[in-house]
């Protein structure tokens, strides 16, 4: 059985207290590795390594840092197959998906910020004959990056790439459920020429080492992606020390289908936005809102497509869906399906665990629920969608905005004016019109309401990981 280590000061080392936790393969339900359950002692080591590395890394010319990050992006591409295989085994997602999306996007994150940092400029204001103001953007020092299990390397790299590009040193923690690709990244960063101590990766439990990273006075900013309940704790802890904090949290995203849409396209993409990655993407559209006039037609076509989905071994290229990440997550998903039935929902497809080793669940489609029932308000984060009717645009907007979340929304319509109108009325940080999950990394990314605070992506992230200093010179 594989035993992985922390990556501190450019070296793989055992956790100081020698505590480990099991890492389970969701595809088989069997333990396949053990990972450090890091403690304060490991964190202190990582903090001192990062503080020693900071002067050299932060003063290194941006184009030199850029070359190291480009090299890291190259190495991720060179190791695509192995990383994708590990990610699939760790998370339960199909190998083909990890190979086509997760790992290429992780490489793209490093490449994007390797380029962004050499094009990043700060502002200057000239008051003719009086003064010149310019704003220097200084890196913060040591920063903490904490990521979830659903898109392991992709979300991990999305945080650490801008932090490193800006000249910060990083202490990062992947989810204890999916540590393997972050573990592999340590070695690749070394091969890319990253100086020791710049990137430190600690494994272990969120409540233990995750909380300790947030609490430590040395971490000057916390970039966190995860659930809203955890985000609340992280935000409250970080604010005690006035730390900068970015929270990317949960969602209950509406997928609004108007009767004037391209129905074939709406159905095809809605199947993907409901069930890609077993529905374990924060941006999945878990509430499909359908205009009355096409409700029956959409339903029939959608359910027919869902019936074709294959749930199976993550290593099999024919599997559309793999396994859910853990037994406890599967239990949570199943409990919501049972709740939906109690709440008066009718199961149109799925609704059951698949009886084999591992954590497999059928893609599940439910209709007939009240818009205000728990199934329609709470994040399930699995392969479960509800179909809901609406009469007109106002009702679609009202239902869309009826949850505490505001992460993303998809709108299907051929009416350009309506597309703009509804986009501006829905309370979502990310809106897709006639598409889903496409994105330009320069755009700000994040949610409204309980889906988080701050925005990641593009220059927003470089600003987050830096401190502005205004310098005023009298002319």
225 near ligand NAP, judged by CB under 6 A: yes
Select 214 or 288, whichever has its Cβ closest to ligand NAP: 214
Tell me which of 312, 447, 454, 458 binds ligand NAP, using CB under 6 A: 447
Q: Are 162 and 461 in contact (CB under 8 A)?
A: yes
Binding segment for ligand NAP among 173-181, 297-305, 369-377, 462-470 (CB under 6 A)? 173-181
369 near ligand NAP, judged by CB under 6 A: no
Binding segment for ligand NAP among 182-190, 223-231, 286-294, 356-364 (CB under 6 A)? 223-231
Which residues in 145-164 contact ligand NAP (CB under 6 A)?
146-150, 155
Select 89 or 173, whichever has its Cβ closest to ligand NAP: 173
- When CB distances to ligand NAP are compared, the closest residue is 206
279 near ligand NAP, judged by CB under 6 A: no
Residue 466 phi/psi, 5-degree rounding, is -145, 165
Q: Is 224 left (phi over 0), alpha (psi -120 to 50) or beta?
A: beta
227 near ligand NAP, judged by CB under 6 A: yes
Binding segment for ligand NAP among 26-34, 130-138, 229-237, 389-397 (CB under 6 A)? 229-237
Residue 282 annotated as catalytic: yes
Least spacing, CB of residue 285 vs ligand NAP, in Å: 13
Tell me which of 6, 230, 246, 388 binds ligand NAP, using CB under 6 A: 230
Least spacing, CB of residue 174 vs ligand NAP, in Å: 6
Which residues in 391-430 contact ligand NAP (CB under 6 A)?
407
Q: Are 289 and 388 in contact (CB under 8 A)?
A: yes
**Which listed residue (145, 169, 261, 282) is catalytic?**
282
Q: Give the residue among 92, 74, 8 at the shortest CA–CA distance from 42.
A: 8
Least spacing, CB of residue 96 vs ligand NAP, in Å: 20
Binding mask 302-331 for ligand NAP (x = CB under 6 A): ------------------------------
**Which listed residue (176, 248, 291, 460) is catalytic?**
248
What number of chain residues touch ligand NAP (CB under 6 A)? 33
Q: How far apart are CA 438 and CA 54, in angstroms?
A: 35
19 near ligand NAP, judged by CB under 6 A: no
Q: Give the residue among 109, 147, 156 at the shortest CA–CA distance from 225.
A: 147
274 near ligand NAP, judged by CB under 6 A: no
Place of tokens 């999945």: 284
Q: How far apart are CA 462 and CA 213, in angstroms?
A: 21
367 near ligand NAP, judged by CB under 6 A: no
Residue 248 annotated as catalytic: yes
176 near ligand NAP, judged by CB under 6 A: yes
Binding mask 193-222 for ligand NAP (x = CB under 6 A): ------------xxx--xx--x--------
Q: Cα dihedral angle (81, 88, 431, 268), rounded to 10 degrees? A: 90
Least spacing, CB of residue 165 vs ligand NAP, in Å: 19
Which residues in 325-364 contact ligand NAP (CB under 6 A)?
none
Select 359 or 381, whichever has its Cβ closest to ligand NAP: 381
Tell me which of 452, 454, 457, 458 binds ligand NAP, using CB under 6 A: 452
User: Catalytic residues, which ones?
Assistant: 248, 282
Residues in contact with ligand NAP by CB under 6 A are: 146-150, 155, 173, 175-177, 205-207, 210-211, 214, 225-227, 230, 233-234, 248-251, 282, 379, 381, 407, 447, 451-452
């Amino acid at each position: 059985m594989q035993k992985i280590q922390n990556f501190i000061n450019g070296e793989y080392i055992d956790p100081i207290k020698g505590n480990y936790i099991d890492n389970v393969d969701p595809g088989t339900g069997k333990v396949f590795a053990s990972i450090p359950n890091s403690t304060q002692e490991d964190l202190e080591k990582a903090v001192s390594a990062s503080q020693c590395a900071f002067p050299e890394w932060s003063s290194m010319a941006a184009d030199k840092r850029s070359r190291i990050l480009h090299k890291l992006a190259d190495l991720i591409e060179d190791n695509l197959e192995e990383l994708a295989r590990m990610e699939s085994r760790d998370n339960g997602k199909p190998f083909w998906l990890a190979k086509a999306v997760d790992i290429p996007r992780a490489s793209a994150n490093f490449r994007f910020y390797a380029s962004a940092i050499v094009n990043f400029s700060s502002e200057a204001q000239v008051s003719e004959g009086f003064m010149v103001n310019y704003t220097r953007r200084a890196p913060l020092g040591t920063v903490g990056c904490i990521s979830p299990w659903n898109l392991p390397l992709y979300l991990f790299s999305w945080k650490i790439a801008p932090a490193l590009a800006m000249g910060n040193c990083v202490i990062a923690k992947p989810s204890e459920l999916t540590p393997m690709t972050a573990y592999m990244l340590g070695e690749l960063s070394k091969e890319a020429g990253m100086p020791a101590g710049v990137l430190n990766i600690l494994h272990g439990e969120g409540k233990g080492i995750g909380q300790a990273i947030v609490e430590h006075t040395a971490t000057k900013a916390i970039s966190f992606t995860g659930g809203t309940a955890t985000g609340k704790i992280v935000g409250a802890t970080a604010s005690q020390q006035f730390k900068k904090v970015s929270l990317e949290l949960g969602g209950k995203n509406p997928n609004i289908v108007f009767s004037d849409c391209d129905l074939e396209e709406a159905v095809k993409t809605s199947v993907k936005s409901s069930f890609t990655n077993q529905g374990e993407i924060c941006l999945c559209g878990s509430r499909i809102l359908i205009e009355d006039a096409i409700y029956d037609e959409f339903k029939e076509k959608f359910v027919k497509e869902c019936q074709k989905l294959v749930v199976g071994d993550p290593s099999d290229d024919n599997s559309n869906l793999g396994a859910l990440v853990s037994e406890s997550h599967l239990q949570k998903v199943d409990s919501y399906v049972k709740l939906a039935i109690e709440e008066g929902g009718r199961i149109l497809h799925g609704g059951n665990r698949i009886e084999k080793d591992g954590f497999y669940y059928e893609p599940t489609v439910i209709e007939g629920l009240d818009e205000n029932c728990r199934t329609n308000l709470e994040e399930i984060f699995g392969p479960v969608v509800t179909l809901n009717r609406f009469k007109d645009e106002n009702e679609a907007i009202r239902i869309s905005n009826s949850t505490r979340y505001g992460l993303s929304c998809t709108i299907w319509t051929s009416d350009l004016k309506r597309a703009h109108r509804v986009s501006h009325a829905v309370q979502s940080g990310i809106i897709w019109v006639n598409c889903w999950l496409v994105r330009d990394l320069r755009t700000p990314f994040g949610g409204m309401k309980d889906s988080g605070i701050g925005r990641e992506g593009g220059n927003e992230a470089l600003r987050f990981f830096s401190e502005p200093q205004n310098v005023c010179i009298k002319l």
